Chains A and B, each alone.
Chain A
Amino acid sequence: MGVIVELLLQGLQMLAVLALAPLLLGFTRKFKARLLRRRGPPVLQPYRDLLKLIQKEAVVAENASWLFRSGPYLIFAATWAAAALVPTFATGLIFSWVGDLIVIIALIGSARFFLALAGMDIGTSFGGIGSSREMLFASLAEPAMIMIVFTVALVAGSTQLSSVAAYMQDNAALRVSLGLAAVALVIVAVAENARIPVDNPATHLELTMVHEAMVLEYSGRHLAMIELAAAVKLLLYVSLIACIFVPWGLAPAGSGPAAYAIGAASYVGKLLAGGFLLVLFETSIAKMRVFRVPQFLGVALMLGLLGTLLLFVSRSF
């Protein structure tokens, strides 16, 4: 019986991640439009977009290979599996030990690997430019992320997100190293999700695109899968930041329905707050030139390394 409940909770989390991801995207677009004093599209517009896309026929370039057509499913599956491992409303779910934070980063890396390959499959210059730049950003964002993991793991004594969240709930304290890691994680999250100032999700000028250039050839249901994967990735990063740095409200393993309800409510609240802060940051900054981005990400890498070094010197930082 207990196992069934735990499996149900795990399934619920996986479905919740999927269901909430477009909503978060819708909210960020709405917030952004309001900040720019526009009315903006309805909050539910991303769902409508996805529905519209899956009903359309898929136009595939003549020389597309099987990799191009199977790519969206693999990208989505890897991203979804990664998102399912991040605690959202509760910690210690039945499959939470399947992968730690490093596994989550590597799963996102797998999705990016296929996305970059799909961008090169048709053999157009836009796909190539997108893939090339995406891999450049990743080559700095990923080590920065690993350094953040090191910092957090050295503080909490674990790379397991459930353990990290439990530790942070019990031992809440302001630490220099965690502050550095938080700033670095925000930078990485902004870059990984192709937001301003690194990339512009709403751009219509091809030469400034990175993520959008890679998926330029996709249409119909394939594009729907990629858009959904991107939304899930945004949700994943917000959940990750929330889980590590504001873990309050997370229901521990084996708690009652009331705790889960509190967890779910606080999770939605954290998502909204995270989306709002992201948009606030986005609207207050201009997009960077491509070759400025490595410096921006280098800051994250150095902050992460500094946090780790401080902890190697003394565990009390």
Chain B
Amino acid sequence: MQVGMALWGVAVLICAAVLGALLQKSRAAGRAVYAVCLLACLEIFAVGCWHLLADPGPATGMRLPVGLPWSGAHFRIDALAAFFLVVVNLGSAGASLFAIGYGRHEAAPGRVLPFYPLFLAGMNLVVLADDAFSFLVAWEFMSLSSWALVVAHHRDPDNTSAGYIYILMAGFGTLALLLAFGLLAGSTGAYTFAEMRAGGGSLPAVVLILALLGAGSKAGLVPLHVWLPLAHPAAPSHVSALMSGVMTKVAVYGFIRIVFDLNGPPAWWWSVLVIALAAITCVLGVLSALMQHDLKRLLAYHTVENIGIIFLGLGLALAFSSHGMQAPAALALTAALFHVLNHCLFKSLLFFGSGAVLTATGERDMEHLGGLIHRMPLTAFAFLVGCMAISALPPLNGFVSEWLTFQAILLSPMLPSWGLKLIVPAAGAMLALSAALAAACFVKAFGVTFLGRPRTPAAAEAVETDRASLAAMFAFAALCLLAGVVPGLVIDALAPVVQGLAGARMPQQSTLPWLSIVPVAESRSSYGGLLVFIFIAAATLLTIWAIHRFASHAVRRGPAWDCGFPDASPATQYTADSFAQPIRRVFGTVVFQAREAVDMPPPGDARPARLSVTLRDFLWDGIYAPVAQGVAVAAERLNHLQFLSIRQYLSLVFAALVGLLLVVAIWA
């Protein structure tokens, strides 16, 4: 029943894609396509909410006679799928609403309109799929349609190379998932998830690593993240929001589905791998983000950091549940899933904001922006809320999930194994470091883009964006506040998901006074988001009242003081690079081998002095460049095989046949 309703929504999305392909020339048709997408996503969103919040009854499946002839395609909604349907369609609905306004500025709508609904349909199908075959088909569907959107603006050479790297990494990821499902299916070829769950898998550790490679490469786990900061900014902004805010969550879904649901329990030391990778991802993601001055690339790198936070929660849950500690596992898993929702909200919001800035000024480079708070006050406000949420500032939502992760870390001394005892506090320190660096990163992003004085005429003449885009941004900003102020309701809504995966749930939160949350016990830790919000609001209003009652009202506008030497040129302001310079010197010299070279002309020479900074991406230089070079060398060598004579080819075939027969003989 519910599955059928969700699949109808997907069918509507596919029809919208056909509509978009047929009617790409007209502007009204573009808006109509996005509006249809919005409605379809809201419908599936409602189905997900209904399943998650109302009493769902047993999860019912559905079999469609498509796909493999002997098995068909299975679809099913359980609590986990319902939660991810909610997240995916919430983000997609927001992006569609934003695109109703933003799509008007699209230079080549024919390259976006047909693929956008397909992308949404693909992500929904991944979550709905209940057998390995449909899962992988939907996964590839999602990858290919998003690839088409990444190369939508294909005249830009950067975008084509981004698309190339993306499709390579997507292919690699799918290959890893294919092998993971192959291992889970075993020799009997049990492709449905129900059979896999019953079988339990023979090599849980290998499946875990393959899932980490496959889902991790889609999500952006270090060191498989290299495509992400290239591909996400290349797409149109509403698609960037979808790729960063939603598609990475589908990847997280894939990881959770395989590792927590289908796979048997792996030994505890594999969770050390997940936790270590997640912690490195956090810090490397945020440090890379700090080094950027392209607004959308900064946001994309920041997605890498947030994926690290999510995987840290998942790794902790894995560690706890491998030791049979179900209640802490439930806490860690709730923290991770809460962060999934939060990141979808604020990262989509921030990408919408960057899209609004892009249409208003034509600039993604922060060094060419500035002062937009005067020209685009509403966008600036919504973007500020997103910045606060992502920097984990109370009372917004990002803080709650990080707080829950910290609480889960504080429970980990109970873990008996030494490896975990040593790695978990280090991971906690890395998480704290990345949270603090995230605040610095978003002070930089907001401060350089929206504050100060405009650095270019384009920024000085920007105009506020359209109503549909603003509506999407403000809806998400409101949701960020709501999820931060009443976190207990979100935690309770997550309870059936966590119960199904970890075998336990967090205590009921919605009955507590003032909607506060108490993960373990009140004497241990508690957080009242609503009361913190009321405190801050009341203290602010009280102060404003007192100041206006007792203090002087006089305000004089004058030139900036600047210690008595104000300089009218906007070039004297701090830029994005100069803001990050201290952090680059402290952290970047180690992590990126950042080097500064000053070219100072000799006295009498009139040319300007130059400061150049070089950063090295050690992962690219250390892993990807050698692999690419190895492939190139191998291709060069193998090229000779194209020019052999027929006798040589026949002898090659014969040799291969003998070789294979030998292998078969030895194997037996």
Q: Is B667 located at the chain interface by the 8 A CB criterion?
A: no
List residues of chain A with CB within 8 A of the CB of B586: 136, 140, 291, 294
Q: Which residues on the B side are within 8 Å of A316 (C-beta)?
A: none
> A249 to chain B: which residues have CB within 8 Å?
none
With A99-B528, A120-B443 known as contacts, the answer to whether A139 contacts B552 (CB < 8 A) is no
- Rounded to whole Å, the gap between the CB of A169 and the closest CB of chain B is 14
The reply to whether B523 and A62 form a contact with Cβ atoms under 8 Å apart is: no
Alpha-carbon gap, A125 to B388, bound state (A): 24
Tell me which of B15-23, B116-124, B434-442, B636-644 binds A.
B434-442
* Other-chain residue from B413, B447, B526 in contact with A311 (beta carbon distance below 8 A): B413
Which of B102-110, B344-352, B498-506, B533-541 participates in binding chain A?
B533-541
With A54-B551, A216-B562 as known contacts, state yes or no: A132 contacts B526, CB within 8 Å: no
A 122-155 contacts with B by CB, 8 A: 122-129, 131-133, 135-136, 138-143, 146-147, 150, 153-154
**Cα of A220 to Cα of B526 in the assembled complex, Å:** 38
Residues of B within 8 A of A150 (CB): 409-410, 425, 428
**B388, B442, B555, B561: which contacts A110 (Cβ < 8 A)?**
B388
A107 interfacial by beta-carbon distance below 8 Å: yes
- How many residue pairs at the A-B interface have CB separations less than 8 Å? 282
In this complex, the member of B409, B437, B543 whose beta carbon has the largest number of chain A beta carbons within 10 angstroms is B543
Determine if A312 and B528 form an interchain contact, defined as CB atoms under 8 angstroms apart: no
Inter-chain contacts of B561 with A (CB < 8 A): 59, 61, 124, 216-217
* Cα-based distance from A157 to B524 in the complex (angstroms): 7
B601 at interface, CB cutoff 8 A:
no
Please tell me if the beta carbons of A77 and B539 are within 8 angstroms of each other in the complex.
yes
Of B446, B540, B550, which is in contact with the most chain A CB atoms at under 10 Å from its CB? Answer: B540
B516 within 8 A of A: yes
B525 contacts A217, CB within 8 Å?
no
Chain B nearest Cβ from A134, distance in angstroms: 9
The answer, among A58, A120, A121, for a CB contact under 8 Å with B552, is: A58
Residues of A within 8 A of B384 (CB): 67
Which of B407, B410, B446, B453 is close to A117, meaning CB atoms less than 8 Å apart? B446
Please, which residues of chain B bring their CB within 8 A of the CB of A37?
A: none
Would you list which residues of chain B between 544 and 599 have a CB under 8 Å from chain A?
Answer: 544, 547, 550-552, 554-563, 566-567, 570, 572-574, 578-583, 585-586
Contacting residues, chain A, for B463 (C-beta < 8 A): none
Chain A residues bordering chain B, tally (CB within 8 A): 86
Is A124's CB under 8 angstroms from B525's CB? no
Chain A CB count within 10 A is highest, among B433, B446, B525, for B525
Query: In the assembled complex, how far is the CB of residue B429 from the closest CB belonging to chain A, in whole angstroms?
Result: 5
- Contact mask A62-103 → B, CB, 8 Å, 1/0? 110111000001101110110010000000000101111011
Answer yes or no: A28 CB below 8 A from chain B CBs: no
Residue B323 at the chain A interface, CB threshold 8 Å: no
Chain A min CB distance to B9 (Å): 39
Asked, given contacts A61-B559, A160-B524, A160-B526, whether A106 binds B547 with beta carbons under 8 Å apart, the answer is: no
Closest CB in chain B relative to A283 CB, distance in Å: 27
- B490 close to A (CB within 8 Å): no
Q: Are B531 and A98 in contact (CB under 8 A)?
A: yes
Once the chains bind, are A110 and B394 in contact (CB under 8 Å)?
Answer: yes
In the bound assembly, the distance between CA atoms of A120 and B582 in angstroms comes to 16
Which chain B positions have C-beta within 8 A of A49? Answer: none
State A62–B409 Cα separation when bound (angstroms).
48
Chain A residue nearest to B523 (CB atoms) is: A163
Which residue of the partner chain, among A125, A129, A225, contacts B543 with CB atoms under 8 Å?
Answer: A225
Contacts of A157 in B (CB 8 A): 524
Q: How far is the CA of A110 from the CA of B424 in the complex (A)?
A: 27
CA distance A127 to B447 in the complex (A): 11
Chain B residues near A154 (CB, 8 Å)? 410, 413
Tell me the minimal C-beta distance from B477 to chain A in angstroms.
15
With a cutoff of 8 Å between Cβ atoms, the chain B residues found around residue A216 in the complex are: 561-563
Check A127 against B574 for contact (C-beta < 8 Å): yes
Could you tell me if B453 and A123 are in contact, using CB atoms closer than 8 angstroms? yes
Interchain CB contact under 8 A, A124 and B440: no
- For A104, give the chain B residue with the smallest CB separation: B394
B370–A132 contact, CB under 8 A? Answer: no
Which chain B positions have C-beta within 8 A of A47?
Answer: none
Report yes or no: B429 in contact with A143, Cβ–Cβ below 8 A: yes
Stretch at the interface among A191-199, A262-270, A274-282, A301-309: A301-309
| A66 partner residues in chain B, CB cutoff 8 A | 373, 377
Smallest beta-carbon distance A124→chain B, Å:
4
Bound together, the chains give a CA A293 to CA B425 distance in angstroms of 24
CB of B224 within 8 Å of the partner chain: no
Closest to A166 in B: B523
Closest A residue to B550 by beta carbon equals A54
Q: How far apart sit A66 and B446, CA to CA, in the bound complex (Å)? A: 14
Q: Are A57 and B525 in contact (CB under 8 A)?
A: no
* A-side contacts of B443, CB under 8 Å: 113, 116-117, 120, 131, 135
Check A126 against B563 for contact (C-beta < 8 Å): yes
Q: Inside 8 A of B447's CB, which chain A residues have their CB?
A: 116-117, 120-121, 128, 131
Cβ-closest chain B residue relative to A79:
B539
Q: In the complex, what's the smallest C-beta–C-beta distance from A199 to chain B, in angstroms?
A: 14
Q: Does A221 belong to the interface (CB within 8 Å)?
A: yes
- Please tell me if the beta carbons of B394 and A221 are within 8 angstroms of each other in the complex: no
- Verify if A158 is at the interface (C-beta below 8 Å from B): yes
Taking the complex as formed, is B406 at the interface, i.e. its CB lies under 8 A from any CB of chain A? Answer: yes
- Give the one of A56, A110, A163, A315 with max B CB within 10 A: A110
Q: Which residues of B contact A81 (CB under 8 A)?
A: 532, 535-536, 539
A138 touches B436 (CB 8 A): yes
Instruction: Say yes or no: is B522 at the interface (Cβ < 8 Å to chain A).
Output: yes
Of residues 373 through 412 on chain B, the ones whose CB sits less than 8 Å from some CB of chain A are 373-374, 377, 384, 388, 391-394, 399, 403, 406-407, 409-410, 412
Q: Which of A219-259 contact B (CB under 8 A)?
A: 220-221, 224-225
Q: A123 to chain B: which residues have CB within 8 Å? A: 370-371, 451-453, 560, 570, 573
Is the beta-carbon distance between A290 and B394 smaller than 8 angstroms? no
The answer to whether B551 and A224 touch across the interface, beta carbons within 8 angstroms, is: yes
Chain B nearest CB: distance from A142 CB in Å?
Answer: 4
Q: How far is the CB of A203 from chain B (nearest CB, A)?
A: 12
Q: Does A312 contact B424, Cβ atoms closer than 8 Å?
A: yes
Bound-complex Cα distance A8 to B388 (A): 33
Residues of A within 8 A of B448 (CB): 120
A156 to chain B, nearest CB (A): 9
Tell whether, in the assembled complex, residue B539 and residue A76 are in contact, meaning their CB atoms are under 8 Å apart: yes
Task: Decide if B25 is an interface residue (CB 8 Å cutoff).
Answer: no
Contact of B475 with A by CB under 8 A:
no
Chain B: CB-nearest residue to A95: B531
Per the bound structure, the CA–CA distance linking A290 and B447 in Å amounts to 22
- A305 & B429 in contact (Cβ 8 Å cutoff): yes
Name B residues whose Cβ lies closer than 8 Å to a Cβ of A: 370-371, 373-374, 377, 384, 388, 391-394, 399, 403, 406-407, 409-410, 412-413, 421-422, 424-426, 428-429, 432-433, 435-437, 439-440, 442-444, 446-448, 451-453, 514, 516, 522-528, 531-532, 535-537, 539-540, 543-544, 547, 550-552, 554-563, 566-567, 570, 572-574, 578-583, 585-586
Besides the known contacts A62-B560, A143-B429, 20 further A-B residue pairs in the complex with CB atoms under 8 A apart? A54-B551, A58-B552, A59-B557, A65-B374, A73-B540, A103-B532, A113-B442, A113-B443, A116-B447, A117-B446, A117-B447, A120-B443, A123-B560, A124-B560, A138-B439, A142-B432, A150-B428, A159-B407, A160-B524, A220-B552
Q: Which residues in A have some Cβ–Cβ distance to B below 8 Å?
A: 54-63, 65-67, 73-74, 76-78, 80-81, 84, 95, 97-100, 102-103, 106-107, 109-110, 112-113, 116-117, 120-129, 131-133, 135-136, 138-143, 146-147, 150, 153-154, 157-160, 163, 206, 216-217, 220-221, 224-225, 290-291, 294, 301, 304-305, 308-309, 311-313, 315
24 contacts between A and B (CB under 8 A): A57-B554, A59-B557, A60-B558, A62-B558, A77-B536, A97-B526, A106-B393, A106-B399, A107-B536, A109-B439, A110-B394, A117-B443, A117-B446, A121-B452, A122-B452, A124-B560, A124-B566, A125-B573, A132-B580, A135-B439, A138-B439, A150-B410, A160-B522, A216-B561
Instruction: Across the A-B interface, give the 8 residue pairs with the lowest CB-CB distance, nearest first.
Output: A128-B574, A123-B452, A57-B554, A120-B447, A146-B432, A143-B432, A142-B436, A77-B539
